[in-house]
Amino acid sequence: MHFREGIRIPMDDNINDIKSNLVRVIDIIDKKVSNNCDVIVFSVKGQRRSATMVIGYVMHKMNLDVDRAIRFVKSKKPDIETEFREALEEYIIKKI
């Protein structure tokens, strides 16, 4: 895999930043994946912010509810934390 482009989205570790960036990050991931690009999502520990963004994308792409998306992502990366579940639940409500 060759690194082609990096997109940095500054985000504090708080619910307001997560909520305000979730849809934007899901859209960016979706566009990149649709164009057959590899995507790496990361934060300092990769447990809260980035995990929340990936869970949101999984919910969007696989049409899963919050619990199923969390279980799916945890099956790939067991040490994630779901501190920002509220943002994911709001995303689902807005999507409906």
Residue ranges of domains in the chain, CATH in brackets: 15-95 (3.90.190.10)
pLDDT band at 53 (very low <50, low <70, confident <90, very high): very high
Q: Give the pLDDT of residue 2.
A: 57
What is the token pair recorded at 74? 């945890």
Residue 66 has pLDDT above 60, yes or no: yes
Given a contact cutoff of 8 angstroms between Cβ atoms, the answer to whether 59 and 86 are in contact is: no
Q: Taking the model in full, what pTM does it have? A: 0.89
* Mean model confidence pLDDT for the chain: 89
Question: What are the phi and psi torsion angles at 87 (to 5°)?
Answer: -65, -40
Percentage above 90 pLDDT, the chain: 65
CB count, 10 Å around CB of 94?
A: 9
Please state, as a whole number, how many other Cβ atoms lie within 10 Å of the Cβ of residue 53: 26
For 14, what's the count of Cα atoms within 13 Å in the CB-facing half-sphere?
A: 3
